[in-house]
């Protein structure tokens, strides 16, 4: 009875979350979804990728139109920030992929923004460029914003707070670009010192704490090894009594998982290489969670790509995308 109530409460919370996200993104038309991905580089530049999903018959920007947008925005940002900036003209790229099955197309715009960040001895600071009036409106309108930074840096401060933050992956994300441009956005990254574990790249006063760190690591490793030996000994005793079932089950589980992935790929191929994730769930008779798990595994293997389409996702075979581009 308790498990049933827990599942009902969990389902209600998930539904509320979906409704909340839908209301936040309600201003975005299903026919025009935009994602801004910015990779901040250690030399102060930033690599921009703008992904726009529209209806297959919708009119998208031209190459010249895209270049003019980027050049005009960088020029305005240079005036706003009071420092020199430029666009690497050789970095402009633009590509469009049509998805007949979902009646949509994805257009990607790429360029490199030089002097995007303010560089100091052991830090990078950026955000002043976003104070240009109607910043994202001068590009392709509101959309999700993802900023990635070098693994040699750590976040010292970020305003406004991101909706999602993953320090291990070095990624900051806002569900809408309007959440970031409000006020005076600013992000400061500090160079991380692998020798001291402290920001700033310097050394702390007094004796070095490295020996304490290594002692702690040694204790953890020793405890983990002891636990492993204990578990191994107990497992060996159990196997001697009831046989090694694990060795028999593991290949079967791997085979089942592989066959399920093949089933998903076969269905996608039968639909021309692209279809909605919800349709895959229906045709495979899987739960939504299981379908998402299988597609995530295939995505990590580089077999499929997924793009958001309203409340659903479009799943496309990588081989299909490469075939259309070629």
- Domain with 62 in it: what CATH number? 2.60.40
Nearest-CA neighbor of 320 among 270, 262, 257, 263?
Answer: 270
Per DSSP, 183 falls in state S
The set of long-range contacts for 127-131, using a CB threshold of 8 Å and a minimum separation of 24, is: 127/159, 127/184, 127/185, 127/186, 127/187, 128/77, 128/80, 128/81, 128/186, 129/74, 129/77, 129/80, 129/81, 129/85, 130/180, 130/181, 130/185, 131/80, 131/81, 131/181, 131/184, 131/185
Which of 173, 191, 209 is where one domain is finished?
191
Q: Is residue 77 part of a domain?
A: yes
Q: Is residue 36 part of a domain?
A: yes
Whether the link from the prior residue into 268 is cis, omega within 30° of 0, is no
For residues 157 and 90, state if they share a domain.
Answer: yes
For residues 64 and 171, state if they share a domain.
Answer: yes
For residues 145 and 277, state if they share a domain.
Answer: no
For residues 253 and 180, state if they share a domain.
Answer: no
Burial class (CB in 10 A: 0-12, 13-18, 19+), 159: middle
Distance CA 124, CA 188 (A): 6
For residues 150 and 278, state if they share a domain.
Answer: no
For residues 114 and 48, state if they share a domain.
Answer: yes
Per DSSP, 197 falls in state S
Distance CA 130, CA 137 (A): 11
Q: Is residue 9 part of a domain?
A: no
Q: What is the CATH number of the domain that holds 276?
A: 1.10.10.10
Which of 156, 191, 226 is where one domain is finished?
191
The total domain count for the chain is 2
Per DSSP, 272 falls in state T
Distance CA 305, CA 307 (A): 7
For residues 182 and 275, state if they share a domain.
Answer: no
Q: pLDDT by residue (tens digit) across 106-150?
A: 999 999 999 999 999 899 999 999 999 999 999 999 999 999 999
Average pLDDT over residues 53-59: 90
The structure tokens 């990728």 sit at 49
For residues 249 and 105, state if they share a domain.
Answer: no
Which of 174, 191, 208 is where one domain is finished?
191
Q: pLDDT by residue (tens digit) across 205-259?
A: 333 444 556 667 777 888 887 877 777 777 777 766 555 544 544 454 455 556 8
For residues 51 and 129, state if they share a domain.
Answer: yes
pLDDT at 21: 45
Q: Is residue 136 part of a domain?
A: yes
Q: Is residue 203 part of a domain?
A: no
Q: Is residue 44 part of a domain?
A: yes
pLDDT at position 25 over 60: no
pLDDT at 4: 46
Q: Is residue 231 part of a domain?
A: no
For residues 58 and 184, state if they share a domain.
Answer: yes
**Which of 5-14, 177-186, 205-214 ranks highest by mean pLDDT?**
177-186
For residues 161 and 40, state if they share a domain.
Answer: yes
Average pLDDT over residues 271-285: 88
For residues 83 and 168, state if they share a domain.
Answer: yes
pLDDT at 202: 44
CA distances from 286 to 291, 293, 311 (A): 6, 11, 19
Question: In this structure, what token pair is assigned to residue 168?
Answer: 């291990």
Q: Which domain holds residue 161?
A: 24-191
Q: Is residue 17 part of a domain?
A: no
């Amino acid at each position: 009875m308790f498990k049933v109530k827990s599942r009902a409460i969990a389902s209600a919370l998930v539904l509320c979350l979906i409704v909340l996200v839908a209301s936040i993104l309600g201003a975005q038309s299903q026919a025009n979804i935009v994602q801004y991905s910015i990779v901040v580089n250690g030399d102060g530049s930033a690599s921009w990728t703008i992904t726009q999903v529209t209806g297959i018959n919708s009119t998208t920007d031209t190459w010249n139109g895209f270049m003019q947008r980027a050049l005009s925005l960088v020029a305005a940002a240079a005036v706003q920030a009071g420092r020199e900036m430029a666009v690497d003209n050789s970095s402009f790229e633009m590509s469009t992929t049509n998805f007949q099955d979902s009646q949509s197309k994805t257009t990607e715009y790429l360029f490199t923004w030089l002097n995007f960040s303010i560089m100091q001895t052991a830090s990078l600071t950026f955000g002043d460029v976003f104070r240009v009036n109607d910043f994202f409106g001068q590009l392709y309108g509101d959309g999700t914003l993802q900023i990635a930074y070098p693994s040699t840096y750590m976040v010292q401060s970020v305003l406004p707070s991101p909706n999602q933050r993953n320090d291990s992956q070095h990624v900051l994300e806002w569900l809408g670009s309007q959440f970031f441009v409000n006020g005076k956005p600013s992000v400061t990254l500090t160079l991380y010192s692998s020798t001291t574990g402290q920001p700033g790249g310097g050394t702390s006063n007094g004796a070095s704490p490295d020996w304490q760190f290594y002692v702690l690591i040694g204790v953890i490793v020793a405890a983990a090894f002891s636990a492993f030996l204990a578990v191994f000994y107990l497992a060996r005793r159990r196997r001697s009594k009831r046989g090694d079932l694990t060795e028999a089950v593991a290949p079967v589980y791997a085979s089942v998982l592989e066959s399920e992935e093949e089933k998903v790929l076969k269905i996608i191929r039968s639909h021309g290489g692209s279809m909605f994730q919800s349709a895959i769930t229906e045709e495979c008779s899987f739960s939504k969670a299981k379908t998402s798990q299988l597609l995530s595994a295939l995505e990590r293997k580089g077999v499929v790509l997924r793009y958001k389409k309203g409340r659903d996702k479009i799943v496309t075979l990588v081989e299909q995308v490469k075939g259309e581009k070629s």
